[in-house]
Amino acid sequence: MLLAGSLSAGTALATPITFTGSNTGLGLAASVTFDTSGTNLIVTLTNTSSADIMNPGQVLTAVFFDIPSAGTLGKVSALLGPGSTVFYDAQGQPALGIVGGEWAYKTALSGAPLGATEGISSSGFSGGVSFGPPNLFPGADLQPPTSPDGVQYGILSAGDNTATGNTGITGSGGLIKNQVVITLSGLPGGFDPSAAGAILHVSFQYGTALTDANVPGEPPPPPVPEPATLALLGVGLLGISLMMRRRRAP
């Protein structure tokens, strides 16, 4: 009974999950962590590549995904991640790290990579995957126009040399090195991002068009039980087997 109760309590806890993706040939790598705080979803999007960013096609601008158990979530905030900095914006660093005026969230997408229907983006894209002013998070417009647009406020890599890059980088109007933290509200009660099927079709989008690089996001592999855990499990099963034999004995 104690074991069953412990398992029940453990499965009720929400656990964060991190998806990662990379394309070594293009020097691209990214991660996105989905976590919860009450009924809020915390999405941490990071450009983890060690490569130097030389052109807009290497800038991480969006993450696409599906959360089947949730409808449209509320837009709470978009903030610079811890230790992250804005480059190439003459206005300097955004007040309180708020970059919501440059990032958007939208559902009911059509034509997104892997068939995803939700996305968080700093670029406008087009067609069934277009992001506009109604999709922006709260915050001042840091660079015109008042809409997700171009590569501006996309995410540079962790290893970027900000002294290099073509004019699409240096004249972008602002790029973030190397992380954005997004908060969405309205998760269903008891939502666990690490549960099977909770978050699907994750991919990382680069550049300003869906014809630019897209990298699928992979969840972490299932944990492998430690030898000590397997040994304890074997002892437990052996004990149960012996007890059942004794009960059956005449």
pLDDT digits (tens, 9 = 90+) for 197-233: 999 999 999 999 999 999 999 999 877 766 655 455 4
What are the beta bridge partners of residue 20?
A: 31, 218
Q: How confident is the model at residue 165 (pLDDT cuts 50, 70, 90)?
A: very high
Contact between residue 194 and residue 86 where contact means Cβ atoms under 8 Å apart: no
What integer pLDDT is reported at residue 229 of this predicted model? 52
Contact between residue 19 and residue 218 where contact means Cβ atoms under 8 Å apart: yes
Residue 11 has pLDDT above 80, yes or no: no
What integer pLDDT is reported at residue 245 of this predicted model? 57
Write phi, then psi, for 235 (nearest 5 degrees): -65, -40
What integer pLDDT is reported at residue 113 of this predicted model? 98
Cα separation of 155 and 122, whole Å? 9
Q: What is the mean pLDDT of residues 71-99?
A: 97
Average model confidence (pLDDT) across the chain: 89
Q: What is the mean pLDDT of residues 90-118?
A: 98
Q: What is the mean pLDDT of residues 100-124?
A: 98
DSSP structural state of residue 191: -
Write phi, then psi, for 104 (nearest 5 degrees): -135, 155
Q: What is the mean pLDDT of residues 2-13?
A: 43
Residue ranges of domains in the chain: 17-224
